[in-house]
Amino acid sequence: MFASCRVIENERLGEGLVRLLIDAPEFAAQAKPGQFAMLRSWQEMEPYLPRPISLNQIDPEKGRIGFVIRVKGAGTERLARCRPGDYIQVHGPLGNGFPVLEHAGCVALVGRGVGAAPLRPLAEAYAARGCEIRAYLSARSEALLPDWDFYGSLGAKAVFSSDPTKKVTQELAADCLRMNFDAVYSCGSMRLAKDIRLLQKQYGFAAYLSLEARMACGVGACKGCVCRTVSEDGVSSYIRVCSEGPVLPLERIVE
Amino acid sequence: MSAERDLSVRIGTLFMKNPVMPAAGTYDYFENNAGLFPMESLGAIMIKSVHRHPRPGNPPPRVVEVYGGMINAVGIPSVGMEAFMEREIGRFAALNVPVVLSISGSRPGHYAECLELLDNDPCISAVEMNLACPNIDSGLPFSSDLATLRYTVGESRKATRLPLIAKLNPSVPDIVPFARAAEEAGADALTLSNTFRAMKIDIDRQKPVLGSSFGGLSGPAVKAANLFLVWSAFQQVKIPIIACGGICSWQDAVEYMLAGASAVQVGSRNFSNPNVMPEIIAGIESYLAEKGYAAAREIVGLAHRQ
Ligand SMILES: Cc1cc2nc3c(=O)[nH]c(=O)nc-3n(C[C@H](O)[C@H](O)[C@H](O)COP(=O)(O)OP(=O)(O)OC[C@H]3O[C@@H](n4cnc5c(N)ncnc54)[C@H](O)[C@@H]3O)c2cc1C
Ligand SMILES: Cc1cc2nc3c(=O)[nH]c(=O)nc-3n(C[C@H](O)[C@H](O)[C@H](O)COP(=O)(O)O)c2cc1C
Ligand code: FES
């Protein structure tokens, strides 16, 4: 879908961090956790390209989609400035999304800062299935982490660290000793992904990573957003993060 | 409403119902293009450059935004011509729109080899030669050296009956001799032009941003410079010119047509407005209606009138 959508709400979450809610019934009806949209809230030619932003809320009943935006440069600055009633150009839902395992009893979600944004709809999908959820979240400060309260309200157990010397993957490692995770999901941080890969080799859970890359088209046409991957038979190749990802089995990214 | 305008363009045996098509590597028929419009409404569709031999493409990052556009260093990832013929070309059979295939190579002989393998396949209506990719022997684009350009286009001419479009590199001191050389060697049309060599440096990391250090600039930033290339070539060659570079609106397309372009290609603007090509077709049509022209070809080169 490519359409102009009305902004319903712009909620300031913290310094340079906002949540945008848009009215997009058709989009919300198709969207899956882990997918993203290419957004543009300006008419001028500058900045030239749209910006990839993950879906943070998918509400097919109200026909709404939510994004959490961390101001980084000119594009995110413009997006964060949108007011209710403004229209933004939305292309999506794009990408493959997180696989939701039918019979999972317990899953872990690992995210850092705004990188944790796509985990929220995934948590909701698992909560609706009665699956036990553990969230391991980190950020430089609590104000830079979206959805901290939300995990509690879902009944998920969540740990948070803002201490750079204390990685949340240490907590995950401790929990692995006594819990049986069916799957571990993470996004944003390669550092965390490497730790999870080590645990995966030890405990054998399924693991998925959502990748980020510089994008132009978002739909697989420009071949601009590649990441090197390894296939099951050890063959190394580039995949397009936008159309073959952004979510990939962790073992294809980290050896 | 007045009678419909005739927007059609003919390049050898390639007949397009209107002058608008995507630029190579920016719009893929089989990817999700938002389902906004039937692709049959375009003048033609374009298959991203298929290289003579398989290539992985450049290391990431491959794209970076800059003021006025973007730089890409995608580096033509390709399955290679043999695999394309075996596995992919069949998908383009019986589409209700002409299909242009872009080909590329690393040595002058590679283009003719691609065309021999293509063997005038009926799925393809015309071939665009991407002559801006580097020749392994010199490191320079095929179309920045007159002798190489003549040889590459000449050998290709012998290898196919399909209309041949030579897409030239803009970074040359004067486009005219190159445009003429391509025409004399047998090209049926010119695409002017490919991206302008460019780069960006990250001042914190103190390194080039792109994985391959430099790439090609496209977008609004190149339009004024590229318009001059179309203008200059139009005065000196007889074959049709397809303009490509910074076309973001119907006004840009009309400007290029007035400078001498018979058709236009839209590249990176598809990324921020996937609906831009039909908007451009509609805009050209209204412009013709408003100014009282019956056919698009009437405005080609009009700005050269004394
Ligand atoms: C699949 C995906 C999902 C994302 N989800 C979110 C999200 O939910 N919330 C959020 O705040 N951010 C998200 N990002 C990152 C966000 O796209 C970038 O921060 C944003 O593009 C930066 O644009 P800018 O104009 O503010 O910054 P600038 O630095 O001025 O951008 C310049 C160029 O670089 C690109 N770029 C810069 N940083 C990144 C990056 N980290 N990833 C990809 N492209 C980048 C921009 O798109 C632009 O083309 C996501 C990125 C991807 C690929
Ligand atoms: C991501 C990207 C990939 C491209 N790939 C090719 C290609 O495979 N072959 C080619 O001849 N040109 C390629 N080009 C160049 C475009 O076809 C076009 O010449 C250029 O983008 C200028 O047009 P624009 O200003 O409208 O973008 C590519 C451009 C971009 C941005
Ligand atoms: S952003 Fe164009 S292929 Fe992924």
Say if residues B290 and B1 touch (Cβ distance below 8 Å).
no
Helix (H, G, I), strand (E, B) or coil at B118: helix
Q: Per DSSP, what are the bridge partners of residue A238?
A: A228
Residues A122 and A53 in one domain: no
Residues A6 and A45 in one domain: yes
Residues A185 and A103 in one domain: yes
Q: Per DSSP, what are the bridge partners of residue B216?
A: B72, B197
Helix (H, G, I), strand (E, B) or coil at A204: coil
Check pLDDT > 60 for residue B2.
no
Residues A108 and A205 in one domain: yes
Residues of chain A found within 8 Å of residue B274, distances taken between Cβ atoms: 2, 91, 219
Percentage of chain A modeled with pLDDT above 90: 85
User: Which pLDDT band, with edges at 50, 70 and 90, does B3 fall under?
Assistant: low
Name the domain count of chain A. Answer: 3
Residue A225 in contact with ligand 3 by CB distance below 6 A: yes
The CATH number fitting domain B9-58+77-200+221-304, selected from 3.40.50.1820, 3.50.50.60, 3.20.20.70, 3.40.50.300: 3.20.20.70
Average pLDDT taken over every residue of chain A: 94
Residues A177 and A244 in one domain: no
User: Which pLDDT band, with edges at 50, 70 and 90, does B33 fall under?
Assistant: low
Say if residues B114 and B103 touch (Cβ distance below 8 Å).
yes
Q: With left for phi above 0 and alpha for psi between -120 and 50, is residue A218 left, alpha or beta?
A: left
Q: Which is it for the CA torsion B167, B196, B45, B83, positive or negative? A: positive
Residues A163 and A239 in one domain: no
Which CATH number do you get for residue A199?
A: 3.40.50.80
Check pLDDT > 90 for residue A203.
yes
Residues of chain B found within 8 Å of residue A220, distances taken between Cβ atoms: 28, 31-32
Check pLDDT > 50 for residue B166.
yes
- A228-233, long-range: CB within 8 Å, 24+ apart, which pairs? A228/B59, A228/B60, A229/A253, A230/A255
User: Quick one: which of A149, A183, A192, A172 has its CA closest to A33?
Assistant: A183
User: Which pLDDT band, with edges at 50, 70 and 90, does B249 fall under?
Assistant: very high
Torsion of CA A10, A13, A14, A15, to 10 degrees: -20
- Subunit contact A221:B57, Cβ cutoff 8 A: no
**Mean pLDDT value of segment B25-54:** 89
Question: For the segment B110-144, what is each residue's pLDDT rounded down to a tens digit?
Answer: 999 999 999 999 999 999 999 998 888 888 899 99
Q: Which of A59, A94, A129 is the last residue of a domain?
A: A94
Strand B241-244, strand B69-72: pairing? unpaired
User: Quick one: which of B216, B214, B212, B210 has its CA closest to B193?
Assistant: B216
Residues A168 and A193 in one domain: yes
- Subunit contact A221:B26, Cβ cutoff 8 A: yes
- pLDDT for residue B1: 46
pTM over 0.90: yes
User: Which pLDDT band, with edges at 50, 70 and 90, does B300 fall under?
Assistant: very high
Which CATH number do you get for residue A255?
A: 2.10.240
Nearest C-alpha of chain A: how many angstroms from B236?
33
**Mean pLDDT value of segment A173-196:** 92
Q: Which of A94, A118, A137 is the last residue of a domain?
A: A94
Residues A165 and A183 in one domain: yes
Domain that holds residue A112: 98-210
Residues A59 and A142 in one domain: no
Check pLDDT > 50 for residue B175.
yes
Residue A47: is the preceding peptide bond cis (ω within 30°)?
A: yes
Residue A41 in contact with ligand 1 by CB distance below 6 A: no
Question: For the segment A120-150, what is each residue's pLDDT rounded down to a tens digit?
Answer: 999 999 999 999 999 999 998 888 888 888 9
- Subunit contact A223:B77, Cβ cutoff 8 A: yes
Question: For the segment B255-289, what is each residue's pLDDT rounded down to a tens digit?
Answer: 999 999 999 999 999 999 999 999 999 999 999 99
Q: With left for phi above 0 and alpha for psi between -120 and 50, is residue A122 left, alpha or beta?
A: alpha
Question: For the segment A144-159, what is each residue's pLDDT rounded down to a tens digit?
Answer: 888 888 999 998 999 9
User: Which pLDDT band, with edges at 50, 70 and 90, does A255 fall under?
Assistant: confident
Residues A205 and A220 in one domain: no
What count of residues does chain B have?
Answer: 306
